[in-house]
């Protein structure tokens, strides 16, 4: 997810219990894999930072693999500026670790390492590289892909910049797009209408998809505060990580 510098993202955010009890999520229209992906032979999942693709779409990716669809994961940045206060973990070292964590996660979901396409834009600099990113996406996309990207109003500048670039490229290519919230779950309130006018769809995960997603999330030790980094203030503390243990994912059409 990268450093929390956006204006909306601070404190503990909305508790997961409030989301799970919310009428908005309970009554959200369900969509099956076929309803979401249609006949798209390939899903292109755009992740501003290594972990966003799994947090937002890990279950959908696992289902695509199960169904024999192709998946391309576009790693926009390496998330190398996530811990600027940790002297032992300068950006180059974190980039290497986070790339390795991403390989482990996509492998866990059943994809080959070659399913990752790294754009290597600087972490925190996505907005400034918007035109270059849009052109890179345009070169990758096919009209019959289903493209997925972080929500254009997610509250994190890299997430919103990735969405703007992808939406621009997809419009030129004629590619269908679904957006996935990540940080929106932190700052939104369950009774709010922040998703309007988007059409929000709930994709329920069966036990196998939930397990695959949990296993993939567990690959991101550096973000969970585990492993060699052991950051005292990890990006994904338990109260944040639990939002992505839900038995469903939400996509905005």
CB of 227 to Zn ion, least distance (A): 19
CB of 9 to Zn ion, least distance (A): 10
Contact yes or no for 185/14 (Cβ under 8 A): yes
Angle between helices 91-108 and 52-66 (to 10 degrees): 20
Binding site for Zn ion (CB under 5 A): 1-2, 48-49, 52
Residue 147's CB: how many other CB atoms inside 10 A? 26
Contacts of 184 (CB under 8 A, 6+ apart): 151, 153, 154, 155, 194
Contact yes or no for 45/119 (Cβ under 8 A): no
CB of 218 to Zn ion, least distance (A): 17
Q: 187 in helix, strand or coil? A: helix
CB of 142 to Zn ion, least distance (A): 25
Q: 146 in helix, strand or coil? A: strand
Contact yes or no for 227/215 (Cβ under 8 A): no
CB of 107 to Zn ion, least distance (A): 20
Assigned token pair, 224? 């969970």
């Amino acid at each position: 997810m990268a450093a929390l510098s956006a204006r909306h993202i601070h404190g503990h955010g909305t508790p997961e219990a409030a989301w799970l009890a919310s009428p908005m999520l309970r009554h959200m229209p369900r969509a099956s894999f076929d309803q979401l992906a249609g006949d798209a032979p390939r899903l292109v999942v755009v992740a501003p930072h290594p972990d966003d693709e799994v947090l937002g779409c890990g279950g959908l990716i696992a289902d695509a693999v199960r169904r024999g669809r192709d998946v391309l994961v576009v790693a926009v940045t390496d998330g190398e500026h996530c811990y600027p206060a940790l002297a032992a973990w300068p950006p180059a070292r974190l980039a290497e670790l986070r790339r390795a964590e991403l390989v482990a996660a996509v492998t866990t979901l059943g994809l080959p390492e070659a399913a990752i396409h790294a754009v290597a834009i600087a972490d925190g600099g996505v907005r400034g590289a918007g035109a270059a990113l849009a052109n890179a996406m345009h070169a990758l996309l096919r009209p019959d892909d289903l493209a997925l990207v972080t929500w254009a109003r997610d509250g994190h500048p890299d997430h919103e910049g990735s969405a703007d670039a992808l939406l621009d490229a997809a419009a030129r290519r004629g590619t269908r797009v679904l957006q996935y919230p990540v940080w929106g779950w932190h700052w939104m309130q369950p009774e709010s209408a922040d998703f309007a006018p988007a059409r929000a769809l709930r994709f329920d995960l069966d036990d196998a998809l939930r397990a695959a997603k949990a296993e993939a999330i567990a690959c991101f030790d550096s973000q969970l505060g585990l492993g060699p980094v052991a950051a005292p203030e990890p990006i994904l503390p338990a109260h944040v990580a639990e939002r992505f243990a839900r038995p469903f994912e939400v996509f905005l059409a």
